[in-house]
Homo-oligomer: A and B are copies of this chain.
Amino acid sequence: MSTQTADHTDIRATNLAAVLGHLRRAAPCSRAAIATGTGLNKATVTSIVGELLDRRLVRETQQTQNHVGRPATLLVLDGSAYATIGLEVSARGLTALGCDAAGEQLLRWHRAGPGVDAGPAKTVAGLAALARRAISTVQSSGRRVLGITVGVPGLVNRDGAVVLAAGLGWRDVPLRTELAAAIARPDIPVTVENDASLGVLAEHLYGPLAGSANLIQVTGDTGVGAGIIADGRPLAGNLGYVGEIGHLRVLPDGPLCGCGRRGCLEALASLPAILARADETPARAAAPAGAGAGAGAGAVDAAGDGDPQQRLEALIRRADAGEAAVTEVLQDAGTHLGYGIAALVNILNPEAVVLGGAYALLATHLTPAIEQALREAVIAPDAGGCAVVPSTFPHTATPLGATAHALTPLTNGRLPAP
- A74 cross-chain contacts in B, Cβ below 8 A: 1
A41 within 8 A of B: yes
A236 within 8 A of B: yes
Asked whether B347 lies within 8 Å of A1 as measured between CB atoms, the reply is no
A14 within 8 A of B: yes
Cross-interface CB contact of A343 among B26, B40, B343, B349, cutoff 8 Å:
B343
A367-413: which residues lie under 8 A (CB-CB) from chain B? 376-381, 384-386
Interchain nearest-CB distance for A271 vs B (Å): 19
Cα-based distance from A6 to B236 in the complex (angstroms): 32
Cα-based distance from A246 to B347 in the complex (angstroms): 10
Asked whether B65 lies within 8 Å of A164 as measured between CB atoms, the reply is no
Of all chain B residues, which has the CB nearest A44? Answer: B39
A234-264: which residues lie under 8 A (CB-CB) from chain B? 235-249, 252, 259, 261
Asked whether A347 lies within 8 Å of B347 as measured between CB atoms, the reply is yes
A270 within 8 A of B: no
A141 within 8 A of B: no
A230 within 8 A of B: yes
Cα-based distance from A108 to B347 in the complex (angstroms): 31
- A385 cross-chain contacts in B, Cβ below 8 A: 238-239
| Segment of A30-38, A78-86, A179-187, A282-290 engaged in the interface with chain B | A30-38
- A231 cross-chain contacts in B, Cβ below 8 A: 230-231, 233, 235-236
Cα-based distance from A377 to B260 in the complex (angstroms): 11
Asked whether B164 lies within 8 Å of A350 as measured between CB atoms, the reply is no
A137-165: which residues lie under 8 A (CB-CB) from chain B? 155, 163-164
Cα-based distance from A248 to B343 in the complex (angstroms): 7
Cα-based distance from A2 to B22 in the complex (angstroms): 13
Cα-based distance from A121 to B246 in the complex (angstroms): 44
- A259 cross-chain contacts in B, Cβ below 8 A: 379
Give the one of A25, A155, A238, A246 with max B CB within 10 A. Answer: A238
Of all chain B residues, which has the CB nearest A11? Answer: B39
Asked whether A26 lies within 8 Å of B4 as measured between CB atoms, the reply is yes
Asked whether A347 lies within 8 Å of B349 as measured between CB atoms, the reply is no
Cross-interface CB contact of A40 among B39, B228, B236, B249, cutoff 8 Å:
B39
Asked whether A377 lies within 8 Å of B249 as measured between CB atoms, the reply is yes
Asked whether B239 lies within 8 Å of A230 as measured between CB atoms, the reply is no
- A123 cross-chain contacts in B, Cβ below 8 A: none
Of all chain B residues, which has the CB nearest A236? Answer: B231
Whether A36 touches B6, Cβ cut-off 8 Å, given contacts A226-B347, A386-B238, is yes
A15 within 8 A of B: yes
Asked whether A4 lies within 8 Å of B33 as measured between CB atoms, the reply is yes
A346 within 8 A of B: yes
A219 within 8 A of B: no
A214 within 8 A of B: yes
Asked whether B28 lies within 8 Å of A2 as measured between CB atoms, the reply is yes
Asked whether B39 lies within 8 Å of A26 as measured between CB atoms, the reply is no
Going nearest first, the 3 A-B pairs with the smallest beta carbon separation are A237-B349, A241-B380, A244-B346
Given A3-B29, A241-B346, A248-B346, 15 other A-B residues pairs in contact with their CB atoms under 8 A: A1-B28, A1-B65, A2-B28, A4-B29, A155-B379, A163-B380, A164-B381, A213-B238, A230-B235, A231-B235, A238-B385, A239-B349, A240-B349, A241-B384, A244-B346
